[in-house]
Structure formats: structure tokens, C-alpha cells
Copies of this chain bind each other. A is one copy, B any other.
Amino acid sequence: MIFRQLLETDSSTYTYLLACERTGQCVLIDPVIDTVERDLQVLQDLGLQLTYTLETHIHADHLTGARKLRAYTNSKIVVPAMDQLSCADLGVEEGKPFKVGDIELHPLYTPGHTSTHHAYMLDNGMQKILFTGDALLIEACGRTDFQSGDASTLYQSIHSKFFNLPDETLVYPAHDYEGRQITTIGQEKNRNPRLGNGKTLEEFVEIMTTMNLPYPRKIDFAVPGNQACGQCPDNVPEQYRGPCEITALPKALQRVAKVGDQG
């Protein structure tokens, strides 16, 4: 398996590339519209064609790169089925493994940050690997005060779907704002200041409802744009419109885009 953890710096979002070396199939989990060209470069450097993009949820802090990547490469847009997005090509749901060549991703329904949030788990033969989206972050978790967020629901999701996994389970979050890349279930059960060390539901809800976080900078265009799989709505402010354009790719990237060019 080929694996890469790729950072989009403006929203501190991690995009994950997983590729099956036997079949050449690959997936980008949570690609960002701002870094589509970077992602294409990585794919091309590795000699890969993009098969799927896969979302953990409808993001409020960035626009997904799903639609733009589909335009360039004919990749299929995969989202949680319960999002019922007509722009998507495939829906996933808990209990039905999503296969990318020989890679099996197990969707875990983990509402709380949003009401349809999913995490994805795989087993690499040594450890379980959890892509936790915004449900669980390193010493943090996704906010629950916007969209369909609910602190009590998030607590239940984390406890019932994550905290019963082995301590050695690797946690790859969708964001980190301090340059950290990885944690484990054991480490978060021990150290997470909102959830660790046996924090109760009441303590967690109290913490989450008294955070006084600023209004999300991109939410007004990101949510409607992501409900359209990353189509830029008219209200994207000028300074964020650059990545909206689907320009001709530089020559160096035309090999990775050849499926799209032919389509």
C-alpha cells in the first residue's frame, strides 16, 4: 500500500492518499480545492490515476477538491450515503466496507460534529488505522456549535466507535493546528483534555458549550459549496475564488489527468 499524509495549510486540513499497489486504485480522503494541483502532482509522481475521492463529512472550514479532481481525472465522488448528495457518484455506510483495490475501508457512523459524519478504519495487519475526520483530533475534537453539531452525540460517537478500539490504534485526524500528525486511541483516552482521563458526558458538554469559538471564516460558502461536492457558490469572497477556476493543467500534470481529458 502507498500512503501519504498531505497538509493544506490555510485550513490546516490533512488529506490522505491511500493506494493499492496491486491494482493501482487509489483514494484521496478529504481533498481540499486549494491543493488540487499539489495532489495531482503527488499522484503523478507516484504513477497513480485517481479512482475515488472520499469525504468524512460536509466541511465548514474549506471547500472539498472532489468536484475539481473529478473534472480533471474522472475520479468518482464518494460521500456518506445519508448525505444524499445528488452530485456524488457513490455513497458509503457503516457495515459495508468500501474497497479500493485490496484496501478495505470500514465506514463508522460518528455523528456529533455534523449529523452525518463518518470516520474510516482499516487494518494494515499490524495496527488498526483510524481516519477520524473532525470527530476526534489530537488533544481536541471537532466543534459542535454549527451545522448539525451536538456535543452529547459526539461524546457517544467517540466512546462507542473509537474508545473501545485497542490502545495501539493509530489516529489520523482531519486537522491539526500545531503541526502534529498522529496520535493513538490510548494517547487520547489518557491525554485528551476534553475527553480523556474518564471525562464524563456532562463535563464534555460543559467544555464544548463554553468554548466561545470565533464564527467559522469560510462556513457561509463552504457548506453550500460542499453540499454541491465542491462547486463554488456565488458568495465565495474574491480572496478565496482563485482555486474555484478549473484551468488547463500545466503540461507536467497532463499524464495524471488523461482519463479526464478523454472523458
Contacts and interface: CB of A to CB of B under 8 A. Distances in A.
A20 B179 CA distance: 34
A183 interface: yes
Contacts of A127: 3, 124
A5 B167 contact: yes
Contacts of A3: 126-127, 168
Interface size range of chain A in the complex: 20 to 34
A246 interface: no
Interface string A118-135: 000000111101000000
A184 interface: yes
A4 interface: yes
A20 to B, nearest CB: 11
Nearest to A167: B5
A116 interface: no
Given A124-B125, A170-B182, A181-B187, 8 more contacts: A3-B168, A5-B186, A125-B125, A179-B187, A179-B190, A180-B191, A181-B183, A182-B184
